């Protein structure tokens, strides 16, 4: 099923989606774009490259309250915080980010234990993927092509959107996508010419150049295992690293979190907050021992987790080449360069 | 206009000399990153490494923050621009490193640019100095004849605001904080291990990126840097959500200079203002 | 129900706290809103205490120490004078009313002064009203 709408009328689409549930799209603030709930249909604007923080915030919020309690009272009296999730429409997800949800699913609902919060949010959300504009060259930091993701790759989306001149084409990718497109009355039908354009665009997308190297997950996994103990390699790569944590926070495939009990006077909340393996105290144990006190150990962990351990455990590289870690790193550390150097080491 | 290439060549020459003669095991400088506009901090450890050194208008990094990573080295060399040299002076004042254990390669430069916007960095948003205050060798020409601009001029707009407007401004700015702690890590003065915000006993703030914790973290950090912040602006450039931290740090620096007659990191023999006192300090400062 | 402010008082053991005791033994009246915490010296005060106090709902914070030159530990209050001056400037620049945080030098024999300062400070805080800027939201409804 292929639908279309004039880009000038995009606010009508926003109105319809806002009526059906919560509409989340990239909203511009002083620093750049980030996914946020649209309160006004005029806010819907498709002129951006990508968001600062990845859309994982939709399914794994940076702060999530679970249980409210009162100290001194029996546990049975603690109250779970209700999710109260409405139908959600996540609009404007780039192909690399759409792919990241599939990788994250491995951890949150495919490895035996299902995270009910992730699950509920995921089930309630329809993903409107949005192809990169093929007329604009990929940004220097991007390398999703290396990871086998095309600039107009519909995988991971429920509906996939492609710009065609003054129009926006919306193609259904999954049954969920078909269902929602059928309900949106303001959308016009895609003509055969549109269908052709859509399919060709997707094909052209896989040729869209980003930084590219031949990267077989098994090969890089083994390579990283071989150089794990090379202090020289990792010291050199991490010499500039501040160990701040920005890379983990903006990354679409980083999922580490911390559970905290925040009590104030006698009232408290048990909540989940994002954590980062780059933080100095990430591996600080109750005994006081910390196996990763040095920056190079933490950077090595990050790179090896994504490109080696994750491959060994789940068969896929835990990275989608979105380039955010490189773009927002205060010292311009580039994971692509590290992997390149590792392959040559 | 600063001749960046000439400084780069001088930097490479001096680094080569220092490493060849084994006077230092490491030279802290800059190298090319994934492209021209994104250089990286670099620790050159051999003559071969020297080839990788670059210096251009995007090399804003304050290399003083890496000094603490080499506790075992007898002596290290550091490339330092104006603000960076002040950071080194503060580290010496706080006895984290000794003057004789450093070879400071001073760099006089103007025309530094922010890679995010490709605009010239307004020197009023940093310390407003072009020449390093302390160095062993000066690379590049000492910059003279620049109009003297007060580093505190940029605060006038905020000082003129009434307190409600100022509160609204800071609340909205600090609410954006995602607690990535890049500001802390980018700062050469934030070397405490553990940092107060990571402590559990006592727990000063929760970890969630929301108002009370954000306020506590930032207000306390502004206080911890009182009389120590040397206005390099790195914290604000590191911030992924563009919080203008440099404004508040500048205000605290201004107040310290007015109350105690001393700016941070200008003279080796000074003591940082909050580890010092004068019997004749005025009680008026508390009003 | 008129507003009764919650005021945190931090008093140094050797001077201000003793001065407060003197105010008590000489039956001087002063408002009950002050909650006093005793420290050995004003320089023990970590500025984060002040920020935290405002977050936890204090409407005003009053710090009392020995007069400069008379510190029981010689120099403690001289450091505290500088440090707390910075704290005040930070609160002011953040947009908090500067009168909510006050530092006074009150000696052990100044029972009168203690009572006067507390009375004056409480009245001023009453005028300023409840402190809501730094107060943690969850506390705003309950306490």
pLDDT digits (tens, 9 = 90+) for B71-118: 877 899 999 999 999 999 999 999 999 999 999 999 999 889 998 888
Alpha carbons B77 and B69: distance in angstroms, whole number = 13
Q: Given CB atoms, is B246 within the 8 Å cutoff of chain C?
A: no
Average pLDDT of the segment spanning B28-37: 92
Q: Given CB atoms, is B238 within the 8 Å cutoff of chain A?
A: yes
* CB-based contact A140 B34, cutoff 8 Å: yes
Nearest CA to CA, how far is C58 from chain A (Å)?
14
Nearest CA to CA, how far is A246 from chain B (Å)?
5
Residue of A nearest to C142 (CA): A267
The pLDDT tens digits for A103-113 are 999 999 887 88
pLDDT at A30: 80
Task: For chain C, list residues with pLDDT below 70.
Answer: 1, 138-143
A-C Cβ pairs (cutoff 8 Å, strict): 7
Q: Given CB atoms, is C46 within the 8 Å cutoff of chain B?
A: no
* Other C-beta atoms lying within 10 Å of the C-beta of residue A200: 12
The yes-or-no verdict on residue B286 having pLDDT over 70 is yes
Nearest CA to CA, how far is B130 from chain C (Å)?
28
C-alpha separations of A284 from A271, B47, B215 in Å: 20, 37, 25
B-C Cβ pairs (cutoff 8 Å, strict): 100
- Residue found by looking up tokens 């099923």 in the block: A1
Residue of C nearest to A262 (CA): C138
Within the 207-236 window of chain B, which residues sit less than 8 Å (CB to CB) from chain A?
207-210, 234
Alpha carbons B105 and B132: distance in angstroms, whole number = 9
Within the 136-195 window of chain B, which residues sit less than 8 Å (CB to CB) from chain A?
176, 178, 180-182, 184-186, 193-194
Out of B220, B277, B279, the one facing C51 most closely (by C-beta) is B220
The pLDDT tens digits for A165-216 are 999 999 999 999 999 999 998 899 989 999 999 999 999 999 999 999 999 9
The pLDDT tens digits for B197-213 are 988 888 898 888 988 89
- Residue found by looking up tokens 């010291």 in the block: A235
Instruction: Name the 3-class secondary structure at A126.
Output: strand
Which of chain C's residues have a Cβ under 8 Å away from the Cβ of B215? 51, 55, 134
How big is the CA angle at C56 (ends C54 and C58), to the nearest 5 degrees?
50
Full-model pTM: 0.93
Nearest CA to CA, how far is B68 from chain C (Å)?
26
Between helices A116-124 and A95-108, what is the axis angle to 10°?
140
* Other C-beta atoms lying within 10 Å of the C-beta of residue A232: 11
Which of chain A's residues have a Cβ under 8 Å away from the Cβ of B178? 53, 62, 249
Residue of C nearest to B174 (CA): C94
Which of chain B's residues have a Cβ under 8 Å away from the Cβ of A328? 240
Cβ-based neighbours of A259, under 8 Å, separated by 6 or more: A270, A271, A272
Cβ-based neighbours of B285, under 8 Å, separated by 6 or more: B259, C81, C82, C85
The pLDDT tens digits for B42-80 are 999 999 999 999 999 999 999 999 998 888 778 999 999
Q: Please compute Rg for chain B using Cα positions.
A: 19
Average pLDDT of the segment spanning B108-129: 86
pLDDT at A197: 94
pLDDT at C143: 40
Out of C94, C136, C137, the one facing B170 most closely (by C-beta) is C94
Torsion (CA) B203, B209, B213, B216 in degrees, nearest 10: 120
* CB-based contact C95 B285, cutoff 8 Å: no
Torsion (CA) A55, A59, A64, A69 in degrees, nearest 10: 170
Alpha carbons B282 and B258: distance in angstroms, whole number = 12
Chain C neighbors (3+ CB pairs < 8 Å): A, B
Q: Given CB atoms, is C124 within the 8 Å cutoff of chain B?
A: no
Check: CB of residue B39 under 8 Å from CB of residue B33: yes
Name the DSSP letter for residue B71.
Answer: T
Q: Given CB atoms, is A334 within the 8 Å cutoff of chain B?
A: yes
Which of chain A's residues have a Cβ under 8 Å away from the Cβ of C56? 264
How big is the CA angle at A329 (ends A36 and B64), to the nearest 5 degrees?
135
Cβ-based neighbours of A68, under 8 Å, separated by 6 or more: A78, A79, A81, A267, A268, A269
Check: CB of residue A104 under 8 Å from CB of residue A60: yes
C-alpha separations of C63 from A84, C34, C77, C106 in Å: 47, 11, 11, 10
Alpha carbons A39 and A139: distance in angstroms, whole number = 30
* CB-based contact A244 B180, cutoff 8 Å: yes
How big is the CA angle at B35 (ends B33 and B39), to the nearest 5 degrees?
35
DSSP string, B1-16: ---HHHHHHHHHHHHH
Out of B41, B180, B241, the one facing A331 most closely (by C-beta) is B41
pLDDT at C140: 53
Out of B39, B178, B182, the one facing A330 most closely (by C-beta) is B182
C-alpha separations of A213 from A144, A216, A218, A223, A329 in Å: 10, 10, 14, 15, 22
Residue of C nearest to B168 (CA): C95
pLDDT at C139: 62
Alpha carbons B46 and B53: distance in angstroms, whole number = 11
Task: For chain A, list residues with pLDDT below 50.
Answer: none
How big is the CA angle at B192 (ends B187 and B193), to the nearest 5 degrees?
125
Q: What percent of chain B stands above pLDDT 70?
A: 100
Q: Given CB atoms, is C94 within the 8 Å cutoff of chain A?
A: no
Nearest C-alpha neighbor of A148 from the set A93, A201, A212, A203: A212
The pLDDT tens digits for B210-255 are 888 999 999 999 999 999 999 999 999 999 999 999 999 999 999 9
Q: Given CB atoms, is B66 within the 8 Å cutoff of chain C?
A: no
* Helix intervals (H) in chain A: 10-20, 56-59, 95-108, 116-124, 175-183, 192-207, 217-226, 231-238, 246-250, 295-304, 310-314, 324-328, 335-344
> How do the residues of chain C divide into helix, strand and coil, expressed in percent and rounded to 5?
50, 15, 35
Chain B neighbors (3+ CB pairs < 8 Å): A, C
pLDDT at B201: 84
Check: CB of residue C33 under 8 Å from CB of residue C61: no
Within the 6-35 window of chain C, which residues sit less than 8 Å (CB to CB) from chain B?
none
Which of chain A's residues have a Cβ under 8 Å away from the Cβ of B182? 242, 244-246, 330
Cβ-based neighbours of B93, under 8 Å, separated by 6 or more: B265, B268, B270, B271, B272
DSSP string, A265-294: TTEEEEEEEE--TTSTTTT--TTS--S--S
Q: Given CB atoms, is B33 within the 8 Å cutoff of chain A?
A: yes
* CB-based contact B208 A243, cutoff 8 Å: no
Check: CB of residue B278 under 8 Å from CB of residue B261: no
């Amino acid at each position: 099923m292929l639908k279309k709408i004039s880009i000038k009328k995009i606010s009508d689409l926003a109105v319809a989606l806002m009526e059906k549930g919560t509409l989340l799209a990239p909203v511009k603030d002083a620093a750049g774009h980030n996914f946020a709930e649209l309160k006004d249909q005029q806010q819907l604007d498709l002129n951006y490259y990508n968001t600062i923080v990845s859309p994982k915030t939709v399914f794994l919020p940076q702060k999530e309250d679970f249980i409210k309690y009162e100290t001194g009272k029996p546990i049975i009296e603690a109250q779970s915080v209700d999710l109260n999730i409405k139908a959600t429409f996540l609009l404007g997800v780039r192909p690399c980010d759409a792919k990241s949800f599939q990788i994250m699913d491995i951890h949150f609902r495919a490895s035996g234990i299902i995270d009910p919060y992730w699950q509920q949010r995921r089930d309630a959300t329809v993903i409107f993927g949005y192809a990169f504009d093929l007329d604009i060259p990929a940004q220097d930091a991007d390398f999703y092509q290396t990871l086998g993701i095309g600039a107009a790759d519909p995988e991971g989306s429920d509906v996939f959107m492609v710009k065609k001149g003054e129009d926006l084409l919306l193609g259904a990718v999954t049954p969920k996508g078909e269902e929602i497109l059928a309900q949106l009355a303001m959308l016009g039908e895609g003509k055969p010419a549109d269908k052709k354009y859509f399919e060709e665009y997707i094909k052209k997308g896989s040729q869209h150049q980003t930084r590219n190297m031949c990267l077989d997950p098994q090969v890089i996994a083994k390579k990283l295992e071989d150089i794990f103990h090379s202090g020289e390699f990792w010291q050199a790569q991490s010499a500039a690293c501040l160990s701040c944590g920005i890379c983990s926070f903006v990354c679409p495939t980083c999922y580490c979190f911390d559970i905290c009990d925040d009590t104030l006077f006698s009232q408290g909340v048990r909540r989940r907050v994002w954590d980062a393996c780059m933080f100095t105290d990430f591996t600080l144990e109750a005994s006081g021992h910390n196996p990763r006190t040095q920056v190079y150990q933490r950077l090595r962990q990050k790179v090896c987790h994504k490109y080696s351990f994750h491959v060994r455990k789940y068969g896929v590289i835990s990275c989608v080449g979105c380039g955010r870690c490189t773009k927002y790193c205060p010292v311009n550390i580039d994971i692509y360069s590290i992997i390149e150097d590792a392959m040559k080491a | 206009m600063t001749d960046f290439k000439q400084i780069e060549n001088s930097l490479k020459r001096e680094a080569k000399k220092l490493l060849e003669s084994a006077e230092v095991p490491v030279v802290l400088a800059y190298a090319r990153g994934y492209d021209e506009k994104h250089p990286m901090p670099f620790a050159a450890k051999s003559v071969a490494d020297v080839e990788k050194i670059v210096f251009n208008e995007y090399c804003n990094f304050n290399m003083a923050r890496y000094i603490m990573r080499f506790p075992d080295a007898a002596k290290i060399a550091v490339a330092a621009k104006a603000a960076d040299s002040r950071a080194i002076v503060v580290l010496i004042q706080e006895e984290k490193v000794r003057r004789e254990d450093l070879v400071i390669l001073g760099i006089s430069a103007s025309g530094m640019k922010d890679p995010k916007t490709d605009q010239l960095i307004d020197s009023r948003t940093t310390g407003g100095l072009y020449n390093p205050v302390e160095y062993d060798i000066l690379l590049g020409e000492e910059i003279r004849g620049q109009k003297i601009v007060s580093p505190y001029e940029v605060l006038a707009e905020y000082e003129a605001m009434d307190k409600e407007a100022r509160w609204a401004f800071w609340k909205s700015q600090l609410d954006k904080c995602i607690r990535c702690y890049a500001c802390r890590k980018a700062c050469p003065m934030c070397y405490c291990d553990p940092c107060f915000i990571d402590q559990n006993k006592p727990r000063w703030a929760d970890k969630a990126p929301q108002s009370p914790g954000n306020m506590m973290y930032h207000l306390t950090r502004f206080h911890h840097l009182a009389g120590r912040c040397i206005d390099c602006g790195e914290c604000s450039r590191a911030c992924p959500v563009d919080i203008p931290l440099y404004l508040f740090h500048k205000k605290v620096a201004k107040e310290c200079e007015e109350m105690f007659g001393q700016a941070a990191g200008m003279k080796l023999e000074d003591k940082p203002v909050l580890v010092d006192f004068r019997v004749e300090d005025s009680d008026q400062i508390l009003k | 129900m008129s507003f009764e402010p919650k005021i945190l008082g931090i008093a140094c053991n050797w001077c201000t706290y003793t001065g407060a005791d003197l105010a008590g033994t000489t039956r001087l009246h002063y408002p009950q809103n002050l909650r006093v915490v005793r420290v050995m010296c004003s320089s023990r005060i970590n500025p984060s205490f002040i920020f935290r106090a405002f977050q936890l709902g204090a409407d005003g914070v009053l710090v009392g120490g020995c007069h400069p030159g008379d510190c029981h530990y010689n120099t403690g209050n001289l450091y505290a004078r500088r440090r707390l001056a910075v704290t005040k400037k930070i609160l002011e620049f953040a947009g908090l009313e500067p009168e909510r945080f006050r530092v006074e030098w009150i000696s052990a024999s100044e029972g009168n002064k203690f009572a006067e300062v507390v009375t004056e400070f409480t009245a001023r805080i009453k005028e300023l009203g409840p402190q809501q800027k730094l107060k943690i939201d969850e506390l705003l409804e309950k306490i």
